[in-house]
Amino acid sequence: MSNEGLVIVPIQQKVSFRRRRTVVFLGFANSRSQFLSAVILSSKEIRESILSSINEIIIRRPDDWHLHVRDGAFLNAVVPYTAKVFGRAIIMPNLTPPVITAAGASAYRDRILSSLVDGEDFEPLMTAYLTDVTDPAEIARGHENFVFTAAKLYPAGATTNSDNGVTDIANISRVLETMEKIGMPLLIHGEVTDPDIDIFDREKVFIDRTLEPTLQRFPDLKIVFEHITTKEAVDFVKEAGSQIAATITPHHLVINRNALFTGGIRPHMYCLPIAKREKHRIALRAAATSGDASFFLGTDSAPHPVSDKESSCGCAGIFNAPSALEIYAQVFDEEGSLDLLECFASLNGPAFYGLPVNDGSITLQRGDRPRDPCLSVGHEEIMPFEMEKPVGWKIVA
């Protein structure tokens, strides 16, 4: 076999694949460097046929770069699902009232840590909720004291608990200057709130009206464009260079907007940004599974009581924490890119945030995953995200 057909992937990534019990093709020991390296045949057909016959994959422990865990009894009920699988999670601050001070974030972090039942090694990474009157000094102090990892920009009225958000990005110019200076990432819910703009166009319009000018005005500000849902967002992030990255949710990889109306109105498929046309879902799948370092895992798992979802004014949010990683694995498998799951789930995020990758690993096996039951929390229930067919991967260790 000539070397031309081979791509060498350093296995600091610790990715490994097993076909039944035998480790196939992908690893060899480099005795000099003590590194293992994975060898992947670059011929598309051979690569795909080998990857599709893989029944087990071990990846470095992943992180969730976008998560809602709420508070109180809900927090205690949902955190264990994430902590079992993910090493860290970026915790969204849209509580009522929102998390705006370092002291508030620190207390919230303590409540999250107290909810860990089995002594899981899980680190919540806290964020500040930006408002029109956020004090840049509070943000800088919180960052310096290792409380705030990042700050979240919710355009006021864009989504759940965003009423205290930012009414005009010009109002937080001084905050953004400070964040740019101290290297603190800005996480953006990228939708305009203008009611005259069609709900399916709000992300696209945000790119032109707000995102692009912000990148130009603050060229050293690190930005995460959260839960992208459109081809326009994919293209923008790909072309904008290393200043910006994007998270992609599992649900936006598996549903399009038809899922909201299959046989009737489906409140449990409603989230914001809303799922778009099929061509957008295809673009998101291509981006996530491409290995491009600008895209990484962020579930946007967002639990709500069933009674608030199944209502005449149902709220936005999909609770996917129980099956998120398995859904991503299925998508990578379907796209013939299982070997790139680890980049998306465990490597690209830490690289963008400037954090080390996790220790430990997660093992997934091919096989129908049992469906998740509804969670009972006091008098309320939370409905986990469910696809039509069972998910074809499960976590085994």
Q: Where are the alpha helices (DSSP H) in the chain?
A: 44-52, 72-85, 102-114, 136-144, 173-182, 202-206, 212-217, 231-239, 250-254, 278-288, 306-309, 324-334, 341-342, 348-353
In the complex, minimum distance from the CB of residue 194 to ligand DOR, in angstroms, rounded to a whole number = 17
> Encoding tokens for residue 191?
């939708």
Residues 312-351 that bind ligand DOR (CB under 6 A): 316-317
299 is an interface residue for ligand DOR by CB under 6 A = no
233 is an interface residue for ligand DOR by CB under 6 A = no
- Report the C-alpha gap between 130 and 155 in whole angstroms: 9
Binding ligand DOR (rule: CB under 6 A), the pick from 271, 283, 329, 331 is: 271
- Report the C-alpha gap between 349 and 64 in whole angstroms: 9
Q: Which does 317 bind (CB under 5 to 8 A by kind): ligand DOR, Zn ion, none?
A: ligand DOR
- Report the C-alpha gap between 223 and 184 in whole angstroms: 9
Helix (H) or strand (E) holding 297: strand 295-297
In the complex, residue closest to Zn ion by CB: 300
Closer residue to ligand DOR (CB): 156 or 316: 316
Helix (H) or strand (E) holding 381: strand 380-382
Which single residue is written with the structure tokens 């778009």? 276
In the complex, minimum distance from the CB of residue 350 to ligand DOR, in angstroms, rounded to a whole number = 23
94 is an interface residue for ligand DOR by CB under 6 A = yes
Q: Which residues bind Zn ion (CB under 5 A)?
A: 300
In the complex, minimum distance from the CB of residue 271 to ligand DOR, in angstroms, rounded to a whole number = 3
> Encoding tokens for residue 205?
């319009």
233 to 103, 202, 237, 279: CA distances (angstroms): 34, 11, 6, 13
- Report the C-alpha gap between 343 and 57 in whole angstroms: 13
In the complex, minimum distance from the CB of residue 51 to Zn ion, in angstroms, rounded to a whole number = 31
Closer residue to ligand DOR (CB): 275 or 362: 275
302 is an interface residue for ligand DOR by CB under 6 A = yes
Q: Is 201 designated active site? A: no
Active-site residue, selected from the candidate residues 300, 333, 339, 372: 300
Mask of contacts with ligand DOR, 133-162, x by CB under 6 A? --------------------------xx--
189 is an interface residue for ligand DOR by CB under 6 A = yes
Reduced to 3 states (helix: H, G, I; strand: E, B; else coil), residue 190 is coil
Q: Which does 60 bind (CB under 5 to 8 A by kind): ligand DOR, Zn ion, none?
A: none
Residues lying near ligand DOR in the complex (CB under 6 A): 68, 94, 159-160, 189, 271-272, 302, 316-317
| Active site members | 300
